Amino acid sequence: MAGRIPALSTSDLPSASPQEASATASPARGTAMLNSIFKSVRVPEFRFRWQFWAEKGQQAPATSSDQQASEDFASRPKHLGEQIISIKEFYQHFNNIPTDQLKMRDSIHLFHVGITPVWEDRRNLRGGAFYFRVKKELAAKFWHEICLLAVGDVLQSAVETKRDAFNDDICGISYSVRWNAVQIAVWNRDADNEAGREKLLAAIIEKLSDDIKPQDSYWYKAHREHKGFVAPDASS
């Protein structure tokens, strides 16, 4: 038969003063302490500042005037929210962007602050992008993970160079709705950095979850190779 468990004796312990008992039992004091702790814990900042953009795709027009208005509107990416400096701000924005409600040819971009998600931006002129054709049922997970690889500097580490001038960078990433799939792009600054491109693709394939790893529906293309690319006037 098991022995009896000895009782804990508190008869020799000093009693708390009324002030101590009141302070210990106060819910307000506990809340204040937790708030103080939370404020003192600083969320680490990202190496780069980021910003989400929204771009309205050109929809099928009813009239020629509608077509012109549609083209004008479609050509202007717009900021979504404020600059993102930490994972806290990232999720405050990311969780409020309903990518599943985007229409055909609509796009969401996540770019370094200071870079506009257009080919003709001065930091994109000599660059290009990897394009991944993703099934719509896998697109949300693919987009989430590629965003984390971007803000977490995994993509940047792949393309980074040690040149004296014109170092390669990750400029941003894009989510664009197509007819029966979603096209996700990873933009880099130097389309001629072949070693960086190979390392970038390898990093993406290695880091993505097994069920969304790209198989063969991806390609790389320099921005200057696109039919709609228009180099800005050098004098401007």
User: What residues does 84 pair with on adjacent strands?
Assistant: 50
Assess whether pLDDT exceeds 60 at residue 6.
no
42 or 148, greater pLDDT: 148
At 37 the three-state DSSP class reads helix
Residue 109 maps to a domain = yes
pLDDT score recorded for residue 135: 96
Mean pLDDT rounded to a whole number for the chain: 84
Residue 115 maps to a domain = yes
Residue 29 maps to a domain = no
Is the Cα torsion angle 63, 77, 173, 195 positive or negative in sign?
positive
pLDDT score recorded for residue 61: 46
pLDDT score recorded for residue 9: 58
Residue 128 maps to a domain = yes
Residue 159 maps to a domain = yes
pLDDT score recorded for residue 19: 61
Q: HEC states along 57-74?
A: CCCCCCCHHHHHHHHHHH
Determine phi and psi for 36, rounding to 5 degrees.
-65, -40
User: Total domain count for the chain?
Assistant: 1
Assess whether pLDDT exceeds 90 at residue 29.
no
- pTM, two decimals, is 0.76
For 87-111, write each residue's pLDDT tens digit.
Answer: 999 999 999 999 999 999 999 999 9
Residue 59 maps to a domain = yes
pLDDT score recorded for residue 43: 75
Assess whether pLDDT exceeds 90 at residue 62.
no
Q: State the residue for tokens 């969320």.
A: 43
Assess whether pLDDT exceeds 70 at residue 83.
yes
User: What residues does 188 pair with on adjacent strands?
Assistant: 128, 170
Q: Which domain holds residue 55?
A: 49-225
Residue 34 maps to a domain = no
- Detail the DSSP E strand segments found in the chain: 45-55, 78-86, 107-112, 128-134, 170-177, 182-188, 218-222
Mean local confidence (pLDDT), 122-150: 97
- CATH number, residue 101: 3.30.760.10
Residue 14 maps to a domain = no
